[in-house]
Structures are given as structure tokens and as C-alpha cells.
């Protein structure tokens, strides 16, 4: 990745932040985007040997995504890798959910990916670069009490799979990366039924894959130009396998697994 220009959205925390450190360690120059500029500036200070452009951006706004890519090209002249990582989660039964919460998830997770990819595409085609969508196992199996989250991740997967096929002859690389449960603050800021932040994670984060390990796998998949990356065996690969061959069993296992969460909204 030496001298490659890597754009990472949602870079202020979690997997996005870990990706910034991982690609920096491989010699890339970084364009980091997030709403919290102070967090991005802190990363700049912690990576003094890496060329970094930090851009404050809300990916749910098309003009912010256009500005992000413009600034990237103005500064570095090209884009080699776009990692669509920005995303939010939720936790509430659909029956209780204000539909504005689902719209907000689609705006950030799905439309943010579409807007950024659309703006970066002409530059990525020139470099025969990579588009990455960081989804979730929720993009392969519907997670109860996460209807909006699963819907957005399925949508991203469908969008990127179609984009890959459109570009079979152009040299564009498209990767769909699906981590299992990964330690990050995404569950702390997950939206509840009325759109307020959950405030604390319902899961034991210490038992999850670290964001740093996840970032290494994604960076390796970009280097190898893989089409798909499914992480963790039980929550990842086994889930996808069961979804294909034993879907009814997977439904029951998923229901029983998710209802064991503390303060689960369903029993």
C-alpha cells in the first residue's frame, strides 16, 4: 500500500480508526472523514510520519461526500482505495420503532456508501482502485431488534455486488467486508426506538474481535483484491453457511442468541 491514497469514512473511532493506523503502517497516505474533527486531529498527532488529510463530513449529505472526494484529489491527485466504513446501529422492535430511525440508518449506512462511491468512482476507475463496503453479518442474516440495521447492510451488499459485476471489465476492485461482532462504540451510540442513543453496550465487548484485528483482515483483503470477507467462524462463516443450507434453523438460533442480551426488547 506504499504511496496509495486511502479514503476512510467513519474514521474517528472503532474499525475506521483502526483502519487508519493499519493502512498508515503499510505506507499509505490517508484521507480521514468523520463528523468529529477533534478525533481526526488526534489521529494526525499520533501518526506524525503519515500524510493525512482530515475532512469533517456527514456521509448522509451528498454534498459532504462530493466535497470529501474533491479535497482528496486536490491534495493528493488521485484515490486508490475508498473504504465506506461510516455507520450507525439501532436496537428496538420494529413494532415500537419510529420509522424516522430506520430512515436515519439508511441515510448514513446505505446512502452514505452510495454518495461516497459515486463521487469517488471516476478517480477509482483511473487507478483501477478498490471500493470497500464494511457491512456486518447483519447483511447476511436478519437480526431481530435491528431491522433498520440489517436492511441497510443488506442494501449495501446488493449495491456493491451489482457494482462489481458492472465493472468486471474496468479493473475496479469491489470488496464487501462483513465482520462479526467487533469491539467498538457502535453499540453505545446505537439508536433506540425513539432515536435516542442507547448509552451502553448490551454485550461483553472484551469477548469480541478487536477493531485492530478486523482492520488487518480488511487491509489484507484489499491487497489481495478479494470480493468478499466474512470474519469470525461461528458468528460469521457458520452463520452464512446455515443461511444458505439450513435457513429455518438459523432463524431459531439467531432468535435464541439475540434474546439472551441484557434488557432484550423481545423474549
Would residue 70 count as lying in a domain?
Answer: yes
Q: pLDDT tens across 155-196, in order?
A: 999 999 999 999 999 999 999 999 877 766 665 678 888 777
Would residue 133 count as lying in a domain?
Answer: yes
The reply to whether 115 belongs to the active site is: no
How far is the C-alpha of 111 from the C-alpha of 104, rounded, in Å?
10
3-state secondary structure of 16: helix
Would residue 250 count as lying in a domain?
Answer: no
Mean pLDDT of 136-155: 94
Q: What is the pTM of this model?
A: 0.92
Work out the angle between the directed axes of helices 62-76 and 112-127 (0-180°, nearest 10): 30
What does the pLDDT read at residue 75? 97
Mean pLDDT of 241-258: 93
DSSP string, 33-64: EES-HHHHHHHHHH-TTS-EEEEE--TTSHHH
Mean pLDDT of 80-103: 95
Q: pLDDT tens across 147-156, in order?
A: 999 999 999 9
Residue 92 in this model has a pLDDT that exceeds 70: yes
Would residue 258 count as lying in a domain?
Answer: no
Would residue 216 count as lying in a domain?
Answer: yes
Q: Looking at the 3D structure of the chain, how many domains does it have?
A: 1
With contact defined as beta carbons under 8 Å apart, do 114 and 102 qualify?
A: no
Residues 6+ apart with CB under 8 A from 36: 12
Q: Residue 13 belongs to a domain with what CATH number?
A: 3.40.50.720
Beta bridge mates, 52: 30
Q: pLDDT tens across 32-89, in order?
A: 999 999 999 999 999 999 999 999 999 999 999 999 999 999 999 999 999 999 999 9
What does the pLDDT read at residue 186? 60
How far is the C-alpha of 45 from the C-alpha of 139, rounded, in Å?
35
What does the pLDDT read at residue 206? 67
Would residue 23 count as lying in a domain?
Answer: yes
What does the pLDDT read at residue 200? 60
How far is the C-alpha of 152 from the C-alpha of 135, rounded, in Å?
9
Would residue 228 count as lying in a domain?
Answer: yes
Would residue 214 count as lying in a domain?
Answer: yes
Domain residues for the domain of 155 are: 5-233
Q: pLDDT tens across 207-244, in order?
A: 778 999 999 999 999 999 999 999 988 888 999 999 99
CB count within 10 Å of CB 231 equals 21
Catalytic residue among 115, 140, 149, 154: 149
Amino acid at each position: 500500500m506504499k504511496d496509495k491514497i486511502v479514503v476512510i469514512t467513519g474514521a474517528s473511532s472503532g474499525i475506521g480508526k483502526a483502519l487508519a493506523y493499519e493502512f498508515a503502517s503499510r505506507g499509505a497516505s490517508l484521507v480521514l472523514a468523520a463528523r468529529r474533527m477533534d478525533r481526526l486531529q488526534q489521529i494526525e498527532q499520533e501518526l506524525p510520519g503519515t500524510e493525512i488529510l482530515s475532512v469533517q463530513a456527514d456521509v448522509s449529505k451528498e454534498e459532504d461526500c462530493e466535497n470529501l472526494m474533491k479535497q482528496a484529489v486536490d491534495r493528493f491527485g488521485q484515490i486508490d482505495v475508498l473504504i465506506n466504513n461510516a455507520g450507525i446501529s439501532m436496537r428496538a422492535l420494529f413494532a415500537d420503532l419510529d420509522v424516522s430511525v430506520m430512515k436515519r440508518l439508511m441515510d448514513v449506512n446505505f446512502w452514505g456508501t452510495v454518495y461516497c462511491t459515486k463521487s469517488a468512482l471516476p478517480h477509482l476507475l483511473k487507478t483501477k482502485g478498490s471500493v470497500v463496503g464494511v457491512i456486518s453479518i447483519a447483511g447476511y442474516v436478519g437480526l431481530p431488534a435491528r431491522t433498520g440495521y440489517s436492511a441497510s447492510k443488506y442494501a449495501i451488499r446488493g449495491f456493491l455486488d451489482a457494482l462489481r459485476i458492472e465493472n468486471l471489465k474496468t479493473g475496479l476492485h469491489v470488496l464487501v467486508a462483513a465482520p462479526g461482532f467487533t469491539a467498538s462504540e457502535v453499540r453505545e451510540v446505537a439508536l433506540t426506538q425513539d432515536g435516542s442513543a442507547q448509552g451502553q453496550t448490551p454485550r461483553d465487548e472484551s469477548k469480541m474481535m478487536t477493531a485492530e484485528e478486523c482492520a488487518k483482515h480488511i487491509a489484507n483483503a484489499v491487497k489481495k483484491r478479494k470480493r468478499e470477507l466474512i470474519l469470525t467462524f461461528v458468528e460469521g462463516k457458520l452463520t452464512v453457511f446455515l443461511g444458505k443450507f439450513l435457513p429455518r434453523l438459523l432463524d431459531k438460533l439467531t432468535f435464541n442468541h439475540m434474546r439472551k442480551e441484557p434488557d432484550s426488547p423481545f423474549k
